Amino acid sequence: MRVSNSIITSRSQLRLQQGLQGIDRVRDDISTGVKIRKMSDDATSGGELVRIGSSMRALNQYRRNADSGINRAQAEEGALNLLGNSLTRAIELGISQSTATANAQSRLIVKKEVDQLINLAADLGNTRFGDEYLFGGTRAGEPPFATPAPATGSFSRLVDASNNPVNPSGNTTLEVGDGKFVTPNHNGTQVFIDTDALDAMRALSDALGNNDPAAIQAAADRLTAANSNVQALVGTNGARINEMEGAKTTLDTIELNLKTYRSDLRDTEIDKAMVELVGKQTLYQAAMSATSRILGLSLANYI
């Protein structure tokens, strides 16, 4: 094949342009600190970067869920502590009024304080968390307990389709990891009904109103058991907080690993890039020198 001057010139220009492009690419790698700026730079690594970005967005959502769950659990912890204090006070009042030194008048006075404790407990059952009721279960948009607390019947304010009272049920679950779900807090039935906290205080109120020492003592014993049940929930609550804190620690570890992997794929190794830049510049200068000599030749050089 005959190689003309025009072919030599065009090929020389193409190679010089490619050399400049290589130098420009490495210079951009150094100045930006990243070697993959678009998918065409490295399709395989670019795809991995997209996957890593998706994973990190999921981690951020898991972390927000864990933070929300911890806040819910801490709000419940505060309510449980107040409920425990109310039960402790009711026990003290019951024991003091079960003795022979008490009388009908003192018991009626104490009954008023116990009724206030019952109303306080019902108010705790309607604790709000943001726009929701913390102990509302699956019906968190409605206050779960009647306030002031009724003297008889159900404490619940919730009703079914037939207008019959129903206790709060169900729980909110949060995903704090890939396929890992936690229940951040108990519902109102678990805290106030199943523990016997409200019914035991009502039993004490009724016994005080009836001036019945034996019933007062029985109610005090019942309140002691209810308080133990509440303290068990406090322990469960603490374990849940620890679980969610542990989930956040795991998320932090996963995020660190993903960032390291992303850096390995995307970020420029400056020392290597500088060596590469010097090499490309040297090659380009050599190519420029060789091209200038070749293109500078004419027939007169051979005469």
Nearest-10 Cα torsion for 280, 9, 294, 286: 0
pTM, whole model, 2 decimals?
Answer: 0.75
Count how many Cα atoms sit within 13 Å of the Cα of residue 244 in the half-sphere of its side chain. 27
The pLDDT, as a whole number, for residue 287 is: 63
Distance CA 256, CA 63 (A): 14
Higher confidence at residue 263 or residue 39? 263
In the chain, domain spans: 47-261, 270-297
Cα–Cα distance measured from residue 60 to residue 110, given in angstroms and rounded to the nearest whole number: 52
Q: Is the dihedral of CA 118, 122, 124, 125 positive or negative?
A: positive
CATH 3.40.710.10 fits 47-261, yes or no: no
- Residues 66, 199 contacting (CB under 8 angstroms): no
Given a cut of 90, is residue 137 above it in pLDDT?
Answer: yes
Are the beta carbons of 277 and 23 closer than 8 angstroms?
yes
Helix (H, G, I), strand (E, B) or coil at 182: strand
Greater pLDDT, 31 or 165: 165
SS3 177: strand
Per-residue pLDDT reduced to its tens digit, 220-252: 999 999 999 999 999 999 999 999 999 999 999
Question: Given this model, what pLDDT does residue 274 score?
Answer: 60
Segment holding 275, helix H or strand E = helix 270-296
Cα 87 to Cα 57, 82, 91, 217, distances in angstroms = 45, 9, 6, 14
Residue 80 has pLDDT above 70, yes or no: yes
3-class DSSP state of 122: helix
pLDDT mean across residues, the chain: 84
Is pLDDT above 60 for 299? no
pLDDT score recorded for residue 142: 94
For residue 49, what pLDDT band results from cuts at 50, 70 and 90?
low
pLDDT tens-digit map of 175-216: 999 899 999 999 999 999 999 999 999 999 999 999 999 999
User: Quick check: 127 pLDDT over 90?
Assistant: yes
**Does residue 4 have a pLDDT over 50?**
yes
Can you give the pLDDT at residue 52?
78
* Selection from 111, 80, 79 nearest residue 93 by Cα: 111
Percent of the chain with pLDDT over 70: 71
Residue 167: which residues within 8 A CB-CB, separation 6 or more? Answer: 144, 154, 156, 158, 188, 189, 193
